Amino acid sequence: MSHAVDSIRAASKPEFYAALNRQLAAILAGERDWICNLANTSALLMQTLPDLNWAGFYLLKNGELVLGPFQGKIACMRLKLGQGVCGTAAARRTSLVVPNVHEFSGHIACDSASNSEVVVPLLHRGELLGVLDLDSPSLARFDDEDARGLEQTVAVLLRASETA
Ligand code: SME
């Protein structure tokens, strides 16, 4: 496919995410299917962000976060709101950057390789649809600039899609 990209060179994190999010908008243009767009968004993040071991989505269904499209190892299938990093970010409806998951009370270890994590809620017109979750084998892999950039990624994804 013409938009395929394996890496993005950029001078700074904000520039990296601006380029990534332009790529995403181009890839999703003309496609409105929610699951299809979640799947390719997880693939783009895994292909272009260095030092990840997991990138994907949990979708809110009947009050629980259920595993959605992702890239990485087999993961926990259901997470409760308010528990773990994903459930906490979902319940608070804010992004969460965790430099060391082993120090986060209630962290749910799906892949023992994960040492740091960032979670961004999927909020569409005030409604919580789920979360985007990225894991890294490195400590302190993510900071607030990653969270801001990924919030824009989620905004591009939501704009492009007919959410189910
Ligand atoms: N570590 C997450 C669970 C999801 S996996 O990392 C894919 C958490 O504590 O919510």
Kindly report the protein residue whose alpha carbon is nearest to atom 2 of ligand 1. 108
Neighbours of 87 (CB within 10 A): 20
Domain coverage including residue 20: 13-160
Instruction: Give the closest residue to 42 by CA, choosing from 109, 118, 133, 156.
Output: 133
CA–centroid distance, 52 to ligand 1, in Å, is 13
In a domain, residue 5? The reply is no
CA–centroid distance, 30 to ligand 1, in Å, is 31
Return the pLDDT at 11. 87
CA–centroid distance, 107 to ligand 1, in Å, is 7
Decide: pTM greater than 0.85.
Answer: yes
Q: What is the CATH number of the domain that holds 104?
A: 3.30.450.40
Low-confidence ranges of the chain (pLDDT < 50): none
Return the pLDDT at 82. 95
Return the pLDDT at 3. 59
Amino acid at 140: A
In a domain, residue 3? The reply is no
CA dihedral (61, 97, 47, 127) positive or negative: positive
Return the pLDDT at 7. 82
Return the pLDDT at 88. 97
Q: Which atom of ligand 1 is nearest to the CA of 54?
A: 7
Which residue ranges have their beta carbon within 6 Å of ligand 1? 54, 75-76, 79, 84-87, 107-108, 110, 114, 117, 133, 135
Return the pLDDT at 4. 63
Q: How many structural domains are present in the chain?
A: 1
Give the burial class of 151: count Cβ atoms within 10 A of its Cβ; 0-12 exposed, 13-18 middle, 19 or more buried. Answer: middle
In a domain, residue 63? The reply is yes
Return the pLDDT at 16. 96
In a domain, residue 67? The reply is yes
